[in-house]
């Protein structure tokens, strides 16, 4: 396989969906439409192009399923190597300026493919990016000239409101994610 660092967001997202169970390309497209389409929305043709690559790289397997009255279909399953690649991607909280918040939300949605601590690290990294953005917006607000057109003021007010609301959401989400970590930690202590 080529280095897992070379996988695209689409390839990782498909691995994440495959982690939920064996699926056909059609099933994956429907699952994406019903769940993550606002964060990541590949065309059906993209999905059908990616699946054979994942198989060739050893990240997924495929098998033909015979269907009555319809053409046979291929179904795909993630491999242990694919799970490892997915987990590494989900645990990587580096910023991706091109994808920004959409990438964070996609990783959060697929976080079941990594230990719960990974989702918390993603949330904290996201909070850091939001706090930096808020500081920039607040500095812009302080430096607005008196003759700034109303349009710029309104746009900046939107940015400030959006970042502040998202930071409030982060505060609400953190305890929920922390609860997924604590039971595992207690379970490990008991076994010791």
Examine residue 165 and state whether it is found in any structural domain, yes or no.
yes
- If asked whether residues 70 and 136 sit together in one domain, one would say no
For residue 70, the enclosing domain spans: 4-91
Examine residue 138 and state whether it is found in any structural domain, yes or no.
yes
Total tally of structural domains belonging to the chain: 2
CATH number of the domain at 9, please: 1.10.10.10
pLDDT tens, residue by residue, 60-92: 999 998 888 888 889 999 999 999 999 999 999
Examine residue 70 and state whether it is found in any structural domain, yes or no.
yes
The rounded distance, in Å, linking the Cα atoms of 55 and 77 is 9
Comparing 180 with 86, the larger pLDDT belongs to 86
> Which of 59, 91, 123 is at the close of a domain?
91
- If asked whether residues 65 and 119 sit together in one domain, one would say no
pLDDT tens, residue by residue, 34-45: 888 888 888 888
pTM, two decimal places: 0.81
Q: Which residues contact 21 (CB under 8 A, 6 or more apart)?
A: 77
Q: Rounded to an integer, what is the distance from CA 136 to the centroid of its chain?
A: 25
- What confidence category does residue 17 fall into, taking pLDDT thresholds of 50, 70 and 90? very high
The SS3 call for residue 28 is helix
pLDDT score, position 130: 94
- What confidence category does residue 148 fall into, taking pLDDT thresholds of 50, 70 and 90? confident
CB 15 within 8 A of CB 78: yes
């Amino acid at each position: 396989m080529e280095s897992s660092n070379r996988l695209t967001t689409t390839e990782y997202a498909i691995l994440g969906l495959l982690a939920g169970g064996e699926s056909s390309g059609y099933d994956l497209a429907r699952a994406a439409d019903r769940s993550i389409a606002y964060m990541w929305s590949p065309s059906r043709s993209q999905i059908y192009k990616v699946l054979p690559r994942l198989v060739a790289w050893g990240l997924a397997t495929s098998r033909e399923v015979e269907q009555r009255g319809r053409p046979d279909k291929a179904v795909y399953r993630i491999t242990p190597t694919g799970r490892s690649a997915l987990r590494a991607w989900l645990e990587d909280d580096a910023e991706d300026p091109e994808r920004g918040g959409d990438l964070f939300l996609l990783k959060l949605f697929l976080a079941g493919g990594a230990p719960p601590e990974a989702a918390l690290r993603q949330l904290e990294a996201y909070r850091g990016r939001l706090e930096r953005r808020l500081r920039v917006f607040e500095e812009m607000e302080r430096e607005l000239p008196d003759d700034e057109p109303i349009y710029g003021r309104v746009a900046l007010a939107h940015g400030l409101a959006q970042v502040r609301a998202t930071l409030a959401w982060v505060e609400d989400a953190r305890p929920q994610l922390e609860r997924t970590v604590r039971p595992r930690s207690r379970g490990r202590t008991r076994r010791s």
